[in-house]
Amino acid sequence: MIVKKLDVKDYRNAAARTVEFSDGRNAFVGPNARGKTNLLEAVYFAGVGKSFRTPRDRELIKSDAERAYISVAADKECGRETVKIVIDRTANKRVAVNDVPISRMSELMGVCPVVLFCPDGLKIIKEAPADRRRFMDIALCQVSKAYFAALSRYDKILQSRNRLLKSGGANDNTLAPWDELLATEGARIVKSRRGYVKRLQIPTAERHAFLTGGAETPELEYEGAEGDGAEEIKAALSAALKRDRESDLRLKYTHSGPHKDDIKIKVNGVDIRTYGSQGQQRTVALAMKLAEMQLLTDVLGTSPVLLLDDVFSELDSTRREKLLAALDGFQTVITATDDDGFAQFGVNIIKM
């Protein structure tokens, strides 16, 4: 997939802006506070239907406007695809794909696939498990509408079970039907995530070796209910819910399930979530994102656009060149304060 054109109106600080992209590497270059990240964020929003900077859509509307507009046109093997989004102060956002309004966000997934790496990208290594779960979920939702649906159902069931626990009316009988539903949907999620992490291992190691010269080897392992098949995982989840019943009733929330799972990330046998240097963590995070690009391409049959927000300022010149070389064959949108080193890689500079 190649994003050809972005149009925004009354989005963040932009009254109106049109950007045309090249098929390869593109970079928004300019001083801070010029709106580089805003435009990159708009492309991301068209891909997954939400911002990576705020959960509140209305914050994306220009301060003196009533609504914001995003339009992205992308070329795929099947032809031109367009995504148009209206974000309103007084109504829910409206999304149209190829000028046809959609009623469910699952219909947007995979239309304009994206992979993002930004300064917060280190969270997938050093921060809470929720950041690593989000890393898996965003990728899997873009390649599987069934996964998106299962995740949505699980979240609703979990909220209902937690409300029951907080109400004071929870007991073995009232929790039983929720536990059955939670284990069923949870098994689908765990199975998909575990398979994804297994497939991510080899390309992550390959890209890490390219970036570092092969001095270290990262290892990824999904941490969650045991089992490979859905029924085996469901049985493990059911057993965990039963085991934690007393603490759930006492503390009034659900202690076990895929909403608590994690990815163990080791380099040369050391868990770098806790003990890795910032340089190690950044390099492994980049390798995981580049591996995600490859897996999405393999599954979707079309490559996502890679969005790199202010990543190059954190890298030395050698790592910059390695990363730019690793992007060969993928469309990339970069934000940077200067274009040092971009010329030799044919980067399309968009001045801000």
What pLDDT is attached to residue 313? 77
Provide, rounded to the nearest whole percent, the portion of the chain with pLDDT above 90: 78
CA dist list (Å): 72 to 52, 83, 102, 185, 274: 17, 5, 16, 34, 39
For 123-300, CATH gives: 1.20.1050.90
What pLDDT is attached to residue 72? 98
CATH architecture of structural domain 1-113+302-352: 3-Layer(aba) Sandwich (3.40)
Q: Tell me what the mean pLDDT of segment 55-62 comes to.
A: 96
Provide, rounded to the nearest whole percent, the portion of the chain with pLDDT above 70: 100
Q: Mean pLDDT, the chain, as a whole number?
A: 93
Provide the β-strand partners of residue 6.
19, 72
Phi, psi of 333, deg, nearest 5: -120, 120
What pLDDT is attached to residue 277? 87
CATH 1.20.1050.90 placement within the chain: 123-300
CA dist list (Å): 139 to 142, 271, 288: 5, 23, 11
pLDDT-derived band at 147, boundaries 50, 70, 90: very high
pLDDT-derived band at 260, boundaries 50, 70, 90: very high
- Residue 151 contacts by C-beta under 8 Å, 6 or more apart in sequence? 137, 140, 141, 189
Is the pLDDT confidence value at 215 over 80?
A: no
CATH 3.40.50.300 placement within the chain: 1-113+302-352
Least confident of 6-15, 91-100, 131-140, 304-313: 304-313
Is the pLDDT confidence value at 322 over 90?
A: no
